[in-house]
A and B are shown apart, each in its own frame.
Chain A
Amino acid sequence: MTDTQTTSSTGTTAGARAHARAQEGTVVECGPTVPSTNHTGAPARVAPQDLVWAERVAGGNYTHKVLDRGVAVRLTDVQGDACASVLLYNAAEPFERLNVADTMKIQWQVYSGAGQVLLSDQGRAMATVVEDSSGRHDAVYGASSRARNEERYGDGQAHGPSPAGRELLVLAGAKHGLTRRDVPPCVSFFQGVEIAPSGHPVFTGSAGAGASLTLVTEMPCVLLIANAAHPLDPREEYVSTPLDVVAWRARPTTPEAPAWSSAPERRRAYQNTAEYLRARGLA
């Protein structure tokens, strides 16, 4: 018995507990910093006590968070091959969600970038892109599917070698009670697609390591992020590298902000959100 105990530290509950507890502090490349106030990579202007989320999302992985309104979320393509496929849901009524068709059509612009408002299907501003050093984004092609990744790479399962963005978004949404039915078209940041006048897509890919994009929530939201190879990435091998997410308490867009009046369509979207939040007692 003594020999067994010395060769297997997990042969007893006490040993298993000690073994489990000894694992804390293992240094890994990806995962959350908890508490996020300990994170040291935020912009200098952000006070540590305002940090609410700091996480490095592995390539082929996902994350998700319920966010108050007025939270700034900075996404960074750490090594140059991240692709952040993003969905937003109204935290109080999750059947109100990001509508990429309305986001493009209402703002008369197919490309995402600074100043773009991410619009819900209820004519409201969910979030605003306030900074963008990448300029390579795509709201037309979105995320890959399991079946297509199986065709292209041999596998598309969420925890396989070449996860499909949709499979990751489905898992992220499931943590908030959402089902496959609730995962609509998304916007994908850091991997660009241009649309030629003929209608043909031109994949422009990444802007390189270190590109970042910051959005600010305009209403309490559930944010889902899948970090997976873009569906139009032409490379034969599946390439997906880490994505940094850092979020802090900031301010939603208000009538004094230039963004509020940047276009009549956006102004009315902000007004609709403000009206909704006031009626609900949320603002």
Chain B
Amino acid sequence: MTAPTTAPTTAPTTGFGPELSRETVAPRAPWSAVLTAGQVLTIVDVDGNQAVDFLAYDAEDTSRAYSVQATLQGQGSVYLTEGSVLRTNEHDPLLTVVGTDVERHDTLGGACSKESNTLRYGHHTWSQHGCADNFLAELSKYGMGKRDQVSNVNWFMNVPVDPDGALGIVDGISAPGLSVSLRAERDVLVVVSNCPQVNNPCNGFDPSRAEMIVSAGTTGTQEA
């Protein structure tokens, strides 16, 4: 499913040290990489309002998976923004948000799946492509599986919580070319699903491209 392509070398730099790789993730495709501690992953919302579903694991022990609950326990908001630290289920820091062009990103909505689509929209959606299938396919490359798929981050996705507790995926607040940058705090396996959902506004009803730029990182940026 993955169809990364090399982007033009004239693309702007991220300001996080020498660029090591730059790949475009096709609409609806998965992607993964192992980041070395200190490297920075910049995710670009190329065409605008494209949810990028994101999981991360300690590369040395993948049972230490990203945990939304541990992450939120370590900060004062249910949204991710600059300075947010993504944590494992054991509370270890995995990645720090060292830059974001979008005010906030979602932690609550989790991934779409063909199974949950049947509840959200009806059984007519069963044959559609969902993020869970992307995650499972990509995790399988690392000998990992369903038990490893936990609730994920949704970069560029807008999920407000109303005073009565109503929450939902609403029209996005991102735009073409906006990005978020994450510094690896240890060696981290990151797994991405460039969301294929077409039944709600998380991708503007039109799944589009994401760009993944890995930079070497800069010194002196610890503990943003």
Interface residues, chain A, CB within 8 Å of chain B? 95, 99-102, 104-106, 108-111, 119, 121-124, 140-148, 166, 179-186, 195, 197-201, 231-232, 265, 268-269, 272
Contact = CB atoms under 8 A, between A and B. Distances in A.
B83 interface: no
B115 A111 contact: no
Given A106-B116, A185-B151, A200-B76, 9 more contacts: A102-B110, A105-B109, A108-B166, A121-B132, A148-B73, A183-B89, A186-B69, A195-B165, A268-B122
Q: Which 8 A-B pairs have the closest CB atoms?
A: A101-B110, A123-B115, A142-B69, A147-B91, A111-B165, A199-B77, A145-B91, A101-B151
B113 interface: yes
Most buried by A among B65, B104, B119, B120: B119
Contact of B116 (A123, A144, A200, A201): A123
Contacts of B160: 197
Contacts of B77: 198-201
Nearest to A185: B69
Interface of B: 62-63, 65, 67-70, 72-74, 76-79, 89-92, 104, 108-111, 113, 115-120, 122-123, 132, 145-151, 160-163, 165-169
A112 to B, nearest CB: 9
Contact of B168 (A100, A108, A166, A269): A108
A201 B73 CA distance: 10
Given A123-B113, A123-B116, A183-B89, A110 B167 contact: yes
28 contacts: A95-B147, A99-B110, A99-B151, A102-B110, A104-B167, A105-B168, A106-B119, A109-B167, A110-B108, A121-B149, A123-B116, A140-B78, A147-B91, A180-B63, A181-B65, A181-B148, A182-B147, A185-B69, A195-B161, A197-B163, A198-B77, A199-B79, A200-B76, A200-B78, A268-B118, A268-B119, A268-B123, A272-B115
Given A102-B110, A197-B163, A231-B73, A185 B67 contact: yes
Nearest to A117: B119
B58 to A, nearest CB: 12
A123 B118 contact: yes
A186 B161 CA distance: 19
A224 to B, nearest CB: 15
Contacts of A104: 108, 167
B81 to A, nearest CB: 9
Nearest to A146: B90
B62 to A, nearest CB: 8
A157 B109 CA distance: 31
